[in-house]
Amino acid sequence: MLGFGEHHEPPQLVQMHLADFTTASLLLWNAGPMVAKLRVVVGDDHPMFREGVVRALTSSGEIDVVAEADNGADALELIRTHQPQVAVLDYRMPQLDGAQVAAAVSRDELPTRVLLVSAHDESAIVYTALQQGAAGFLSKESTRSELVNAVLSCAKGRDVLDPNLAAGLAGEIRRRNEPDVPVLSPREREVLDLIAKGLSIPAMAKELFLAPSTVKTHVQRLYEKLGVSDRGAAVAEAMRRRLLD
């Protein structure tokens, strides 16, 4: 059995080995712990754009693209398999669009946050995508650094929105929060005003120079548009929808 006492290597050689070991240990110690890269799935049915996204993310040195997909169904399956921190998906893809994937991820309580990128930046699309569970929405005109920063922000739990889309989204939110306003014909508006004043069918007919049967037809159409069946409800609903002062 060999032991340290039977080792005949010259002392100076042993000292050199120890010095090398100490230096290597110090280098490893100073390097600190290895930082894991952010794991991302990329989905887009346009190969050139998808490759550009992958290059932009991987060249950052902070992101590892673990899988790619060219349709929404495959993207969702890859998200379930790899469970990345972030998925960067095109809004419009075959089989499932990006918003539908985001909705499925949210429904299944997967740990992935979905960042959508699209050439379609209509405010209604952005609103629907965010409502369905997307963590962010970027225009395809965004720069590489904007894309990388958006992915990193999403991974930290922040919601991301392209600044150029913010104003349109705010307007869309306001529009959707307003009561639905039915389109009334000029005659129906006149009838509504007279109903609010308490006029009877004969009185309205005289005021508008119409036959009572014609006035009744206008009243019935007005009720249908407001979703009501009597005068009092018509006035209340018209006020709620800001058709009356």
pLDDT tens for 180-235 read: 667 788 899 999 999 999 999 999 999 999 999 999 999 999 998 888 888 888 88
- Better-predicted residue by pLDDT, 131 or 32: 131
Instruction: Kindly give the pairing relationship between strand 136-139 and strand 86-90.
Output: unpaired
Mean of pLDDT over the chain: 83
Q: Is 151 a residue whose pLDDT tops 50?
A: yes
Tell me how far apart the 2 most distant CA atoms of the chain are, in Å.
126
Q: Which pair of structure tokens corresponds to residue 168?
A: 């349109």
Residue 39 confidence (pLDDT): 96
> Using 50, 70 and 90 to split pLDDT, how confident is the model at 5?
very low
For the cut 60, the answer to whether the pLDDT of residue 23 exceeds it is no
Query: Tokens standing for 141?
Result: 């005109």
Range in 121-125, 160-164, 194-198, 223-227 the model is least confident about: 121-125
Could you tell me the strand order of the sheet in which 86-90 lies?
63-69, 38-43, 86-90, 113-118, 136-139, 160-161
**pTM attached to this predicted model:** 0.60
Quote the CA–CA distance of 38 and 202 in Å, as a whole number: 75
Tell me what pLDDT residue 2 has: 32
Please tell me the predicted confidence (pLDDT) of residue 181.
66
d(CA 5, CA 12): 16
What pLDDT score does 233 carry? 86
Task: Look at residue 173 in the predicted model and tell me its pLDDT.
Answer: 73
What burial class does residue 147 get, using C-beta atoms within 10 Å of its C-beta: 0-12 exposed, 13-18 middle, 19+ buried? buried
Which residue pairs from 74-77 have beta carbons closer than 8 angstroms and sit at least 24 positions apart in sequence?
A: 74/43, 75/41, 75/43, 75/101, 76/101, 76/104, 76/105
Token pair belonging to 116: 């959508």
Q: Could you identify the residue written with the tokens 């993310």?
A: 57
DSSP state string for 61-107: SSEEEEEEESSHHHHHHHHHHH--SEEEEESS-SSS-HHHHHHHHHH
Query: Does the structure show a pLDDT above 70 at 7?
Result: no
Structural domains of the chain, with CATH:
38-177 (3.40.50.2300), 186-240 (1.10.10.10)
Q: How does pLDDT run across 97-110, given as a tens digit for each residue?
A: 999 999 999 999 99
Rounded to whole angstroms, the Cα distance separating 105 from 99 reads 10
Of residues 88 and 232, more confidence is placed in 88
Position 65 pLDDT exceeds 70: yes
The predicted structure's pLDDT at residue 34: 60
Specify the pLDDT at position 208: 93
DSSP code per residue over 24-50:
HHHHHHHH-SPPPPEEEEEE-S-HHHH
Task: List residues bridging with 87 in a β-sheet.
Answer: 41, 114
